Amino acid sequence: MSVSVDTVYQRVLAILNKEQRGYVTPQEFNLFANQAQMDLFEQYFYDINQFSRMHGNDTEFSDMLNILNEKINIFEVTAAMTYSASPAPAINYWSPPADLYRIGTLIHNNIEVERVNKNEFLYINGSQILKPNNTRPIFVSSAAGYKVYGTAELTTGVTCNYIKRPATVVWGYNTVNGEAQYNSTLSVNFPLHESEETELVMKILELAGISTRELQVYQIAAQEEARNTQQEKS
């Protein structure tokens, strides 16, 4: 499930041409495309937080949350983690995944590892009752990575569930007779839900200098076009 980077670029160019607003180069488009993608992606988490605080029709808000979670689920990943074992006196950590956006849970031997902060760790580790063990492991995070503890520090067998950062979008091309021609093998599509195509086009147009008023007109036209297409299919 993804959004074609070429389709989005061609729609952007078509609207700019129709409005006689100039041209967006491939380099400019790639810059705008990645900014638009991150704006949408980060908005998911803000919206979930906002909807979770709202009161009203439970079904209505539940549907909104389900849609947002469906869009976020595309980026959920489970992967083995790497332990950076260096000679003393270096402090070793479990390294975060390179494409990490938000950490979810750590798993050791099919047991979820409880997350604690540094102060909680000092308290828990000093308690004979709460002290972690291999059936009740804990982890502490820092800028360097993660320390995982069971009966002793755990240095093998840890996996991570997390939300990955969206891949960098690229409209790849070859230059032929001085013009950029699309090359799918050099391109990377938007790894977003396919329903985000029109929103991506609008955000990129906004970044390219199209006013909010003009975007509203385009959005209405796009919605009407989508309805007509749906009616034709049915």
**Residue 206 located in a structural domain:** yes
Specify whether 70 is located in the same domain as 108.
no
Give the chain's domain count. 2
Residue 179 in domain? no
Strand partners, 146: 94, 141
Domain region containing 138: 76-164
Q: Give the C-alpha separation, 156 to 110, whole Å.
A: 13
Domain check: are 103 and 152 in the same one? yes
In a domain, 176, yes or no: no
90 lies in the same domain as 148: yes
Residue 65 near residue 48 (C-beta atoms within 8 A) = yes
In angstroms, the CA 7 to CA 23 distance is: 16
Which of the listed residues 164, 181, 210 is the one where a domain comes to its end?
164
CA 83/CA 94 separation, integer angstroms:
4
pTM for this one? 0.82
d(CA 171, CA 31): 10
169 inside domain: no
When pLDDT is averaged across residues 126-147 and rounded to a whole number, the result is 92
Q: Report the mean per-residue pLDDT for the chain.
A: 88
- Residue partners of 43: CB distance under 8 A and separation at least 6: none
Residue closest to 114 by CA, chosen among 131, 127, 129: 131
The two tokens of residue 219 are 């959005």
Evaluate whether residue 114 is within a structural domain: yes
In a domain, 94, yes or no: yes
Q: Is the pLDDT of residue 231 over 90?
A: no
159 and 102 in a single domain? The answer is yes
Q: Are residues 19 and 89 in the same domain?
A: no
Instruction: List, for residues 72-109, the tens digit of each pLDDT value.
Output: 999 999 999 999 877 666 789 999 999 999 999 999 99
Lowest mean pLDDT among 28-42, 52-66, 70-84: 52-66
Note whether residue 65 is domain-resident.
yes
Q: Which residues contact 64 (CB under 8 A, 6 or more apart)?
A: 47, 51
Q: What is the phi/psi pair of residue 162, to 5°?
A: -155, 170
Please tell me whether residue 90 adopts helix, strand or coil conformation: coil
Do residues 57 and 91 share a domain? no
CA–CA separation, 142 and 156 (whole Å): 19
Instruction: Answer yes or no: do 63 and 95 share one domain.
Output: no
Tell me the HSE value of 206 on the side-chain side, using a 13 A CA sphere.
17
With the CA atoms of 188, 12, 28 and 169 taken in that order, what torsion angle do they form, in degrees rounded to the nearest 10?
A: -20
- Bridge partners (DSSP) listed for residue 115: 139
CA dihedral of residues 39, 43, 46, 49 (deg, nearest 10): -160
- Residue 158 sits in the same domain as residue 83: yes
Q: What is the pLDDT of residue 23?
A: 86
Tell whether 68 and 96 lie within a shared domain.
no
Q: Is residue 128 over pLDDT 90? A: no
Tell me whether residue 45 is in a domain. Answer: yes
| Same structural domain, 80 and 70 | no
- 46 and 12 share one domain: yes
Same domain, 82 and 70: no
Percentages (nearest 5) of helix, strand, coil residues in the chain:
45, 25, 30
